[in-house]
Amino acid sequence: MRTSSKSIAVLPFVNMSNSIENEYFCDGLTEEIINALAKIKDLSVTSRTSSFYFKNKDVSAKEVREELKVATFIEGSVRTSKNKMRITVQMIDTVDDFHFWSETFDRNPEHVFEIQDEISLFIAEKLREHIGHLEIEDKLVEPIDVPVDIYRDYLKGRYYIMKLDYKNSIKGINILKEVIHKSPNFSSPYLDINLAYVNMGTMGLLPAFEAYEKAQPYLLKALELDPNSSRSQLNLAWIECWQNWNLEKAYEHAKKALEIQQADDIYLTISNFLTVEGKLGAAHNYLDKALQLDPYAAINHHYRGFLYYLQEEYTTAIPYLKKALDLDPKLPFPPIYIGISLLLSGKPNEALSYFGSLEGVSVKDLSKLGGETMCYAKLNETEKCNEGLRKLETYLTTELVDKAFTFLILVNALLGNSEKVIDLVEQAYHNRLPLILLLNPSPILKTVKNHKRFKDIMLKAIPDNVNYKQKRKYKQALLKTNEIKKYSKELEQIMMDYKLYLNPDLSLKDLASYLELPANYASQLLNLGFQKNFSEYVNTFRVNEFKERILQEENKDLTIMAVAYDSGFNSKTVFNTFFKKIEGATPNAYIKSNIKN
């Protein structure tokens, strides 16, 4: 499949000055341009993590194309003096490896917001000239009502929290607190302090409960100041899921965030929620989009491995988990599931050796102790296993209570102590520990999933739980009129967002998985909602795609069938038949009447 022409990456702007202060501005400018371009509908913009993977690296157009799967990328530099800022920007076509424009902006450093908007709009306009129509708003970067020196301090604080380790996160938080003291109505530092605490809690750098408790007041203040930002909505989604256990509201907030701006972490979040419900096929679909936008985000690769682990495809899971560690060796989650995947794939001694080799954060978060105890359970080394259980129990009154509960539950499940497992699950439920939500799809707990007490707990925590619900709501009868309207709208949006029709092997079952419907219901939806069968519905999109592509200058040297194949067709006969049926003319006749000589 060809790389979409409407795809772009913004590589980190290079600091051409000696001042570290200018480094903060360079990173902030890069982020603002990424965020601004992400607002443009139909433009696929690589997320921050993957763009910043190339910071301070000399890369070719070919490498950017192969690694980020984009047709275009931006690179630039910033040089500052006391009263002058020179920003150079150039756009490179990754297909033909040429710089099709470059520009130099000499501006006053005090006009930082105007600079960000001017450059973002300039890039968007030049991109539209090169690749075709894009809907571009009059402004892409809204000015912030704070003095420039305070905004620069904000960029400095964000610079440190994005390093994602404990020491720099605390340093960044302290800088941002000072920004809030000076400009209490500036919403961004509240959101970033919230982000810093949530990241530390998620990564095991702080106890999760403590981190979320510290984060919440900053989020609430940010929501009071700016309730409609995508970051605010995304954080609300997390709270509704992991703290309030209200998945319906969690989805509402996540979808609002996605309407405001497409970003990999929003797609990843929706994948998380689907996982909690046991909808692993749909979770993979949303993760595909996250990886497309951010292929160098360690957490995205970890989550791919985690999903395969949950599906008991352990040998498939391990390379993704290892890739995540290659990208971020400090990420605490992958070691747990690498070791468990080895254990459950029949390699208990290898798993024991792996857990024994863990260092750093993994020791702090009980991965080593818990993992080794699981291995002893599997190897029937009773004395060592019981010793491990006793040690884990000592952590039930500490800040590591959630991890201790998790490993105690898993070890007892491996030992076959079903009643003990359910007692522990019940305690975790009454303590409102977030781990409850991830017990739902765990393969280790298969032995207790049919136990009535366990099912009752899971259904109280996750009412729309596909593993335990007796009948899914849409199986009560055929789709009703209001359901057909609802799913039709969802399907049209999915087809626009994901361009599923470009996959020549797309099946009705694949289409149905995006809607979380059985294939026969999806078939009924197409028949009643669109008055088409599957082939007619999908090939209509492909014909429209062909009509758009065949008129583009970049495709003028391609044959008709080359463009047809790029549009999702895999058969000349099918293409010609459907094209004539839909357009009332052959492809050749259509081209002759629409392309001016």
The CATH number linked to 15 is: 3.40.50.10610
Going from the C-alpha of 546 to that of each of 116, 505, 551, the distances in angstroms are 36, 17, 9
**Same domain (yes/no): 296, 251:** yes
pLDDT at 475 over 70: no
- What is residue 473's predicted lDDT score, i.e. its pLDDT? 42
Quick check: is 232 in a domain?
Answer: no
pLDDT at 464 over 70: no
pLDDT in tens, 406-425: 999 999 999 999 999 999 99
**Same domain (yes/no): 168, 63:** no
d(CA 532, CA 340): 47
d(CA 30, CA 8): 13
Quick check: is 1 in a domain?
Answer: no
CATH code for the domain of 495: 1.10.10.60
What single DSSP character describes residue 451?
Answer: -
**Same domain (yes/no): 316, 450:** yes
Confidence of residue 384 (pLDDT cuts 50, 70, 90): very high
Quick check: is 234 in a domain?
Answer: no
pLDDT at 467 over 70: no
Q: Which residue, 461, 488, 510, sits at the end of a domain?
A: 461
92: three-class secondary structure by DSSP: strand
Q: Is the pTM of this model over 0.75?
A: no
**Same domain (yes/no): 212, 351:** no
pLDDT at 362 over 80: no
pLDDT at 379 over 90: yes
Quick check: is 474 in a domain?
Answer: no
E strand residue ranges, 363-449: none
pLDDT at 168 over 70: yes
**Same domain (yes/no): 282, 415:** yes
What single DSSP character describes residue 501?
Answer: G
- What is residue 596's predicted lDDT score, i.e. its pLDDT? 57
pLDDT in tens, 236-256: 888 888 878 888 888 889 988
- What is residue 145's predicted lDDT score, i.e. its pLDDT? 78
Confidence of residue 399 (pLDDT cuts 50, 70, 90): confident
Rounded average pLDDT over 122-135: 77
Q: Which residue, 204, 227, 250, sits at the end of a domain?
A: 227
pLDDT in tens, 39-79: 787 788 888 888 888 888 888 888 888 888 888 898 989 88
Share of the chain above pLDDT 90, in %: 24
pLDDT in tens, 26-39: 888 888 888 888 87
Quick check: is 392 in a domain?
Answer: yes
Quick check: is 518 in a domain?
Answer: yes
Confidence of residue 466 (pLDDT cuts 50, 70, 90): low
**Same domain (yes/no): 125, 181:** no
**Same domain (yes/no): 444, 491:** no
CATH code for the domain of 392: 1.25.40.10
Rounded average pLDDT over 250-277: 87
Of the given ranges (9-13, 393-397, 476-480), which has the lowest mean pLDDT?
Answer: 476-480
What single DSSP character describes residue 2?
Answer: P
**Same domain (yes/no): 113, 174:** no
- What is residue 551's predicted lDDT score, i.e. its pLDDT? 85
Nearest 5°: phi and psi at 477?
-160, 175
Q: Which residue, 175, 202, 227, sits at the end of a domain?
A: 227
**What's the number of CA atoms in the CB half-sphere (13 Å) around residue 442?**
24
pLDDT at 148 over 50: yes
Inter-residue contact 558 to 551 (CB < 8 Å): no
> Residue 487: what residue type?
Y
- What is residue 481's predicted lDDT score, i.e. its pLDDT? 80
Name the packing angle between helices 230-238 and 187-202 (round to 10°). Answer: 30
- What is residue 476's predicted lDDT score, i.e. its pLDDT? 42
pLDDT at 471 over 50: no
Name the packing angle between helices 519-529 and 508-515 (round to 10°). Answer: 90
Contacts of 577 (CB under 8 A, 6+ apart): none
Domain range for 210: 161-227
**Same domain (yes/no): 371, 430:** yes
Our CA dihedral for 555, 559, 565, 566, rounded to 10 degrees, sits at -10
Count of domains observed in the chain: 4
**Same domain (yes/no): 221, 315:** no
Quick check: is 306 in a domain?
Answer: yes
pLDDT in tens, 576-594: 888 888 888 898 888 888 7
Rounded average pLDDT over 104-116: 81
Inter-residue contact 62 to 97 (CB < 8 Å): yes
**Same domain (yes/no): 441, 513:** no
The number of helices, as runs of H, and strands, as runs of E, in the chain is 30, 6
**Same domain (yes/no): 422, 325:** yes
pLDDT in tens, 477-536: 457 788 888 888 889 888 887 788 888 888 888 888 888 787 778 888 888 888 888 888
Quick check: is 469 in a domain?
Answer: no
pLDDT at 161 over 50: yes
Residue with tokens 């450059």: 119
